[in-house]
Amino acid sequence: MPSPIRKAVIPVAGLGTRFLPATKAMPKEMLTVVDRPLIQYVVDEARAVGIEHFVMVTGRNKGVLEDHFDIAYELEATLAARGKTAALEELKRDKAPAGAMSFTRQQEPLGLGHAVWCAADIVGDEPFAVILPDMIPRGEPGCLAQMIAHYNEHGGNSVSVEACDPSETASYGIVGLGDPVGDSYRMTTMVEKPAPADAPSNLYITGRYILQPEIFPLLAEGRRGAGGEIQITDAMLRLMETQPFYAFPFKGRTFDCGSKLGFLAANVAFALEREELADDFAAEARALLKAAGKD
Ligand code: UTP
């Protein structure tokens, strides 16, 4: 059995420019799908599969993320005094256990690879997960749970993948597939945001990674890639020369909540899963579509 995945790195230092002006003073990760912030969805997904420690790589304007996982004395006391026990219990459940979260700063948004490197000292010499908080998977078991089940059998490094429309490859990291291994495939290549004509497939990385610590010295070299950023894909390609790398097709659907369309679709999908909302929301949505002549 390979070493367990105990830690997850969550990079949250990006600027969220696609969501301006909403993200001018508020972190993108606090945007809500129904009534829960994106960051809560990903922490829940990871806690459900036994992740014990979260390393958030933050930047300016991200302090509210720390507050979100902290005790809110006044609020909790008020809820208790008013007998709102269900809301109180939910707040307590959502909080991080003491000592389970570390926060480190990426002073400049130099790229995802650089953000992950900022977590190197806290992760140390063990395999770990990387979770992009704007990619929200829907499926049971969760995306990280499916990947860790595969990892426990096969070890190595892996990324979750899903098919995108072939015209959309330039928005994502795209992989090439080799032989099947269990529920996954050996990965043969990875290209950051290729034009459709240069894409090795239409399978995009959906924001979940399991990586061995040998990635850190490669990231430390700070080589710039696509867009002048320190890309995680470049370091992964080099790690692939010496270690097994798998592309794991997620059995479910991921919503790219960093894009407006993905974010809106996630709200619809998750609202329709809420028993207390589903019927009324569906009726409202149908009426709106009809009124707009789009039904
Ligand atoms: P994105 O590519 O979505 O960038 O980063 P972004 O800044 O969040 O959003 P846009 O494109 O400007 O709208 C993917 C993830 O990597 C983090 C982001 O916070 C996001 O979770 N990231 C990206 C960093 O932490 N640091 C970086 O330098 C770049």
Where b means 16+ CB within 10 Å and e means fewer, 80-94 reads: eeeeeeeebeeeeee
Q: 228 CA to middle of ligand 1, Å?
A: 14
- The verdict on the CB of residue 27 being under 6 Å from ligand 1 is no
Identify the pLDDT of residue 7: 98
pLDDT at 96: 83
pLDDT of 176: 96
> What is the reported pTM?
0.95
Q: How far is Cα 38 from Cα 36, in angstroms, rounded to an integer?
A: 6
Instruction: List per-residue pLDDT tens for the chain, 295 residues long.
Output: 889 999 999 999 998 899 999 999 999 999 999 999 999 999 999 999 999 999 999 998 888 999 999 988 899 999 999 999 999 999 988 888 889 999 999 999 999 999 999 999 999 999 999 999 999 999 999 999 999 999 999 999 999 999 999 999 999 999 999 999 988 999 999 999 999 999 999 999 999 999 999 999 999 997 888 888 899 999 999 999 999 999 999 999 999 999 999 999 999 999 999 999 999 999 999 999 999 999 8
Please count the other Cβ atoms lying within 10 Å of the Cβ belonging to residue 180: 10
Q: Is 224 in the pocket of ligand 1 (CB under 6 A)?
A: no
- Kindly state if the Cβ of 134 falls inside 6 Å of ligand 1: yes
Phi, psi of 167 (to 5 degrees): -75, -10
Residue 1's pLDDT is 82
Q: How far is the CA of 12 from the centre of ligand 1 (A)?
A: 7
- Could you tell me if the CB of 133 is within 6 A of ligand 1? yes
Q: Which atom of ligand 1 is nearest to the CA of 57?
A: 25
Closest protein CA for atom 7 of ligand 1:
14
* Long-range contacts (CB closer than 8 Å, 24 or more residues apart) made by 119-123: 119/9, 119/55, 119/57, 120/216, 120/219, 120/220, 122/7, 122/55, 123/7, 123/9, 123/55, 123/213, 123/216
Residue 95 Cβ < 6 Å to ligand 1: no
State the pLDDT at residue 39. Answer: 97
- Check residue 26 and give its pLDDT: 93
What 170-174 contacts at long range (C-beta under 8 Å, 24+ apart), as own/partner pairs, is 170/194, 170/195, 170/196, 171/204, 171/256, 171/259, 172/204, 172/205, 173/204, 173/205, 173/233, 174/199, 174/200, 174/201, 174/202, 174/203, 174/204, 174/205
Q: From the CB of 162, is ligand 1 less than 6 Å away?
A: no
Q: For residue range 247-263, what is the model confidence (pLDDT) as tens digits?
A: 999 999 999 999 999 99
In the block, residue with structure tokens 């609020």: 75
Nearest alpha-carbon partner for 213 in 123, 147, 93: 123
> What is the 8-class DSSP label of residue 40?
H
Ligand 1 atom nearest residue 111's Cα: 28
Nearest atom in ligand 1 to the alpha carbon of residue 18 is 13
**Ligand 1 centroid vs 28 CA: distance in angstroms?**
9
Q: Which of 28, 41, 55 has most ligand 1 atoms within 8 Å of its beta carbon, as the pocket-test mutant?
A: 28
Q: How far is the CA of 166 from the centre of ligand 1 (A)?
A: 23
Assess contact for 48 and 145: CB atoms under 8 A: yes
What domains can be seen in the chain, in order of their start residue? 7-258 (3.90.550.10)
Helix (H) or strand (E) run with residue 247 in it = strand 245-249
End-to-end CA distance of the chain: 52
258 within ligand 1 shell (Cβ under 6 A): yes
pLDDT at 44: 95
Output the pLDDT for position 260.
95
Q: How many CB atoms lie within 10 A of CB 137?
A: 25
- pLDDT the model gives residue 82: 94
- Decide if 61 contacts 25 (C-beta within 8 A): yes
Length of the chain: 295
Q: What is the pLDDT of residue 43?
A: 96
Place of tokens 């650089």: 114
Ligand 1 mean position to 132 CA, how many Å? 8
In this predicted structure, what is the pLDDT of residue 97? 86
Distance CA 215, CA 111 (A): 15
> Is the C-beta atom of 111 inside 6 A of ligand 1?
yes
CA of 171 to the centre of ligand 1 (A): 12
Alpha-carbon distances, residue 37 vs 31, 69, 104, 136 (angstroms): 5, 11, 20, 11
CA of 287 from ligand 1 middle (Å) equals 36
